[in-house]
């Protein structure tokens, strides 16, 4: 039985990844600062600790063959783009990756998966909301619009340097807005689909919801199940990456809100307010993943949004009851 480590197992994507790996028959150790708040982890072993601590990192990688590194200090636009958390984001995430690689290679880990982000793409290629450029080879000259993006770009290079100098195998994916049930949906770190679903679920019929900016900024959103399929295919392939794992179904934020409102069955209006926005347009370019893995995400946004809205709608009454 192959022994694997999933860093960030108390979080959204990594929490779902633990479940998938267990279904596939792996022995799984999970590590995080906290337990998953929405469901019990099926991991064979769970370490509660901070991976920026060398002692925790060294314990985590002991006796495993593959590391899935998804632990990071991150959140949605309200957390990443204000600038208030830049030092913590860069320090914490860089330290985690440095520890993961150094103690991992010392312990004999043979393969590392690293979850990068589309936030590392240059801002200058994402100014036109209708024609963003996010092909993997467009990363340089580098000019991310946030320190979070700069950290991801640095860490990509860190993993590739360890592959060249220490002979470990590396797989790198650039995630594009992953969403689904059991993701953060309130508190300031939630991403757009969860935030909009929450606002719609909380609004009374005939009321309104708020959207940051004019709502004409564009994004693509990938449902969690397809994200995991892409991760597993990449890890089992001979392709190092980096490669986009995202949907190429681009929508405006206004359209995303319209979809969530329609799913709810409510009559709601939208009010546009000032707020952090990120780049003007972003969409996953899936040409490389099709070429290298013979696969690309294909599920429509509507289907994933329906499942996510139903889950968030069910969370709202319970959260109100406990004063969240």
pLDDT digits (tens, 9 = 90+) for 228-280: 999 999 999 999 999 999 999 999 999 999 999 999 999 999 999 998 778 99
C-alpha angle 16-20-23 in degrees, rounded to nearest 5: 140
b/e string for 289-319 if b means 16 or more Cβ within 10 A? beebbeebbeeebeebbebbbebbbebbeee
pLDDT (mean) for 293-314: 97
Rounded to whole angstroms, the Cα distance separating 39 from 100 reads 26
Q: What is the pLDDT of residue 162?
A: 98
Please state, for a pLDDT cut of 70, what percent of the chain lies above it: 97
> From residue 99, how far is each of 17, 19, 21, 298 by CA, in Å?
21, 25, 23, 36
Give the range among 66-80, 83-97, 150-164, 203-217 with minimum mean pLDDT.
Answer: 66-80
More confident residue, 188 or 206: 206
pLDDT (mean) for 51-69: 98
List CB contacts of 188: < 8 A, sequence separation 6 or more. Answer: 75, 76, 78, 79
pLDDT (mean) for 115-124: 97
Query: Does the structure show a pLDDT above 90 at 30?
Result: yes
Per-residue tokens: 6: 């999933």
CA-nearest of 51, 17, 13 to 32 is 51
Query: Does the structure show a pLDDT above 60 at 323?
Result: no
- Are 182 and 36 spatial neighbours (Cβ–Cβ below 8 Å)? yes
> From residue 245, how far is each of 230, 233, 287, 319 by CA, in Å?
6, 11, 11, 32
222-223 and 111-117 beta bridge pairing: unpaired
Query: Does the structure show a pLDDT above 60 at 324?
Result: no
Q: What is the pLDDT of residue 79?
A: 75
- Are 43 and 60 spatial neighbours (Cβ–Cβ below 8 Å)? no
- Are 249 and 141 spatial neighbours (Cβ–Cβ below 8 Å)? no
pLDDT (mean) for 125-148: 96
* Residue 61 parent element (H or E): helix 54-61
State the helix-helix crossing angle for 253-264 and 192-202, rounded to 10 degrees.
Answer: 40
Rounded to whole angstroms, the Cα distance separating 296 from 285 reads 10
State the helix-helix crossing angle for 12-23 and 224-236, rounded to 10 degrees.
Answer: 60
Query: Does the structure show a pLDDT above 90 at 124?
Result: yes
For the chain, how many helices (H) and strands (E)? Answer: 10, 13
Phi, psi of 242 (to 5 degrees): -65, 150
Q: What is the pLDDT of residue 287?
A: 98
Task: Report the catalytic residues.
Answer: 148
Q: What is the pLDDT of residue 78?
A: 72
Q: Say what the pTM is.
A: 0.94
pLDDT (mean) for 41-55: 97
Q: What is the pLDDT of residue 176?
A: 97
Q: What is the pLDDT of residue 275?
A: 83
45-48 and 66-69 beta bridge pairing: unpaired
């Amino acid at each position: 039985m192959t022994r694997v480590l999933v860093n960030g197992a108390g979080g959204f994507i990594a929490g779902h990844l633990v479940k998938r790996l267990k279904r596939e028959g792996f022995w799984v150790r999970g590590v995080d600062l906290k337990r998953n708040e929405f469901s019990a982890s099926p991991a064979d072993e769970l370490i509660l600790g901070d991976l920026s601590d060398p002692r925790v990192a060294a314990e985590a990688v002991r006796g495993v063959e593959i590391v899935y590194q998804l632990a990071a200090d991150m959140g949605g636009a309200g957390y990443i783009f204000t600038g208030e958390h830049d030092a913590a984001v860069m320090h914490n995430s860089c330290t985690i990756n440095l520890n993961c690689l150094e103690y991992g290679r010392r312990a004999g880990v043979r393969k590392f998966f690293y979850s990068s982000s589309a936030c590392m793409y240059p801002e200058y290629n994402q100014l036109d909301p209708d024609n963003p450029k996010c092909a993997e080879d467009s990363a340089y000259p580098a000019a991310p619009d946030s320190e979070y993006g700069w950290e991801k770009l640095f860490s990509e290079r860190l993993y590739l340097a360890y592959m060249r100098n220490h002979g470990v195998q590396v797989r790198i994916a650039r995630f594009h807005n992953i969403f689904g049930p059991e993701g953060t949906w309130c508190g300031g770190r939630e991403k757009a689909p969860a935030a909009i679903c929450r606002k719609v679920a909380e609004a009374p019929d005939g009321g309104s919801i708020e959207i940051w900016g004019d709502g004409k900024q564009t994004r693509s959103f990938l449902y969690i199940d397809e994200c995991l399929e892409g991760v597993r295919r990449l890890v089992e392939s001979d392709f190092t990456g980096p490669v986009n794992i995202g949907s190429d179904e681009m929508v405006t934020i206004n359209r995303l809100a319209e979809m969530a409102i329609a799913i709810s069955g409510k009559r709601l209006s939208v009010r546009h307010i000032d707020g952090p926005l990120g780049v003007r347009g972003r969409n996953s370019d899936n040409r490389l993943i099709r070429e290298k893995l013979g696969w690309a995400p294909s599920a429509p946004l509507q289907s994933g949004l329906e499942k996510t809205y139903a889950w968030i709608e069910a969370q709202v009454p319970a959260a109100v009851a406990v004063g969240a």
